[in-house]
Amino acid sequence: MTAAVNLPAEWQLKQLAQRYLETVPHQIGETVQIGWFIFRVASASVPPELESLDFRKMASFTVDFSEAERIRVLQTEALERFQVDAEGCTLLQTALVSRSYSPLRSDAFIERQTPNGENDSGWYVGVLKEKKDMDDEGSFDVRSLYELSITDQRMLPFWLLPTGMKLILSTGQRL
Do 99 and 137 contact (CB within 8 A), yes or no? no
Q: Can you give the pLDDT at residue 137?
A: 83
Q: Does residue 14 sit within a domain?
A: yes
pLDDT in tens, 34-55: 888 999 999 988 889 999 999 9
pTM of the complete model beyond 0.85:
yes
In this structure, the answer to whether residues 154 and 104 fall within a common structural domain is yes
In this structure, the answer to whether residues 116 and 152 fall within a common structural domain is yes
Q: Does residue 64 sit within a domain?
A: yes
pLDDT in tens, 79-135: 999 999 999 899 999 999 999 999 999 999 999 999 998 899 999 999 998 877 777
A 10 A CB-CB count for 151 gives 13
Residue ranges making up the domain that contains 114: 86-168
Last residue of a domain, one of 49, 74, 99: 74
Whether residue 2 is predicted with pLDDT greater than 90 in this model: the reply is no
Query: 6-26 burial by CB neighbour count: b if 16+ within 10 A, else e?
Result: ebeeeeebbebbbebbeeeeb
In this structure, the answer to whether residues 34 and 99 fall within a common structural domain is no
Last residue of a domain, one of 51, 74, 97: 74
In this structure, the answer to whether residues 58 and 96 fall within a common structural domain is no
Overall number of domains in the chain: 2
pLDDT in tens, 54-88: 999 998 999 999 999 999 999 999 999 999 999 98
In this structure, the answer to whether residues 65 and 35 fall within a common structural domain is yes
Mean pLDDT of the chain: 90
Q: Does residue 173 sit within a domain?
A: no
In this structure, the answer to whether residues 108 and 57 fall within a common structural domain is no
Last residue of a domain, one of 21, 43, 74: 74
In this structure, the answer to whether residues 155 and 90 fall within a common structural domain is yes
Q: What are phi and psi of 156, to 5 degrees?
A: -50, -45
